Amino acid sequence: MIAVLKPDTTEEQKNSLIDWLKGQNVEVHESRGKEYTVLGLVGNTGGIDVELVESLSIVDSVKIVSDPFKKSNRKFHPENSVIRVGDIGIGDGSCVLIAGPGPVESREQIVGLAKRIQKAGAAILKGDAVHRLSSPYDQSDPDANYISLLLEAKKETGMPVMSEISGLEQISRFEEVDLIQVATRSMQNYELLRELGRMGKPVVLKRGLSNRLKELLVSAEYIMAGGNEDVILCERGIRSFETYTRNTLDLSAVPMLHELSHLPVLVDPGRATGSSALVDPLARAAAACGADGLIIDVHQDPLHAPYDGARSLTPDQFAKTADHVRRIREVLS
């Protein structure tokens, strides 16, 4: 960590700051420029409250030299991580398709869909086993649980299954799920992340609507610090001022996360834009810039889906998109 002192700092003020820093077990190296004095801190700087140092009246600004994420950092782990989900390897250079409906509705629905998307090229089946509340007046039973239907579809097709968790209280229901997806709004639910770190199951961590990439990597660290290094990152759109699209898909996140981290990166184009018409072009774009996989909502009859119909492809549309993705990856390999 580097702290830059203001030009008019007195010797006494400076020494008092140095004493306080030493009291927190860090070494301080001082160097003087023409206008500014710079303090370099070495040692256990992780224990120092950066905002607090920055708020001191004699401190002009602070720079953290090392990244706040270690285990996910490519600097200390140059090779790509490949995360195994059943037979599938995410991060191995392929573009894995994870597809399925928003909410799981019935055995017939999920088994039927699973077969159709598998044929079209999907490798992992997704579906909400814990249904989302769709409005303040929604009377859904919070304990209703459709995991068993997902597992039946898995049995019929052999596809591993992914489902979304949004609170620590749901965790016991996910024991047989192959891949746990942390909901966007739970990206900074640190208590949940810590528990997933102990669970030993691969986790898809979705970027929060207003979270920086650095924060996404710090959230990954909460899981990895507990011993579970099977974390997969996912870009799904951030909130901006644009109103024609629901969110703004930040595709720069794909190459940027690949530069910063060895973890695989997925893209969810439907959740970003809210519109099925934009899924195909943005799935193509994500494949072209190197995404390790895509999450795509597919529904047998989007007009009658309980929710998420607006961004769901039909199985036929999905087959076309899967074909586009495959051709782009072939030509770039």
**40 part of the interface to a copy of itself, by CB under 8 A:** yes
Please give the full DSSP string across 182-229, using - where no structure is assigned: EPGGGTT-HHHHHHHHTT-S-EEEEPPTT--HHHHHHHHHHHHTTT--
Task: Tell how strand 203-206 and strand 231-235 pair up.
Answer: parallel
Between 106 and 134, CB nearer to a copy of itself: 134
121 vs 98: CA distance, rounded Å: 9
Which position among 14, 36, 112, 314 is part of the footprint of a copy of itself (CB under 8 A)?
A: 36
Closest CA to 278 of 327, 242, 241: 242
Binders of a copy of itself among residues 151 to 180 (CB under 8 A) are: 166-169
Q: Which stretch binds a copy of itself (CB under 8 A): 89-97, 104-112, 116-124, 275-283?
A: 275-283
Q: Which stretch binds a copy of itself (CB under 8 A): 66-74, 79-87, 93-101, 151-159?
A: 66-74
**289 part of the interface to a copy of itself, by CB under 8 A:** yes
Which position among 90, 104, 286, 295 is part of the footprint of a copy of itself (CB under 8 A)?
A: 286
The dihedral through the CA atoms of 80, 84, 85, 89 has a sign that is positive
Between 7 and 158, CB nearer to a copy of itself: 7
Which position among 224, 266, 298, 322 is part of the footprint of a copy of itself (CB under 8 A)?
A: 224
Site string for a copy of itself, 314-333 (x = CB under 8 A): ----------x--xx-xxx-
3 vs 140: CA distance, rounded Å: 53
Binding-site residue total for a copy of itself (CB under 8 A)?
108
How many angstroms separate the first and last alpha carbons of the chain?
Answer: 41
Between 160 and 270, CB nearer to a copy of itself: 270
**189 part of the interface to a copy of itself, by CB under 8 A:** yes
Which position among 123, 196, 203, 213 is part of the footprint of a copy of itself (CB under 8 A)?
A: 213
* Beta-carbon contacts of residue 236 (< 8 Å; ≥ 6 apart): 184, 206, 207, 247, 249, 267, 268, 271, 272, 295
**10 part of the interface to a copy of itself, by CB under 8 A:** no
Binders of a copy of itself among residues 246 to 265 (CB under 8 A) are: 246, 248-252, 254-256, 259-260
253 vs 272: CA distance, rounded Å: 13
**227 part of the interface to a copy of itself, by CB under 8 A:** no
Binders of a copy of itself among residues 114 to 153 (CB under 8 A) are: 132-133, 135-137, 142
Which position among 105, 128, 178, 221 is part of the footprint of a copy of itself (CB under 8 A)?
A: 221
Least distance from a copy of itself to the Cβ atom of residue 11, Å: 18
128 vs 133: CA distance, rounded Å: 12
**181 part of the interface to a copy of itself, by CB under 8 A:** no
97 vs 33: CA distance, rounded Å: 54
Tell the residue number behind the tokens 């607090």, with chain if given.
52
111 vs 189: CA distance, rounded Å: 32
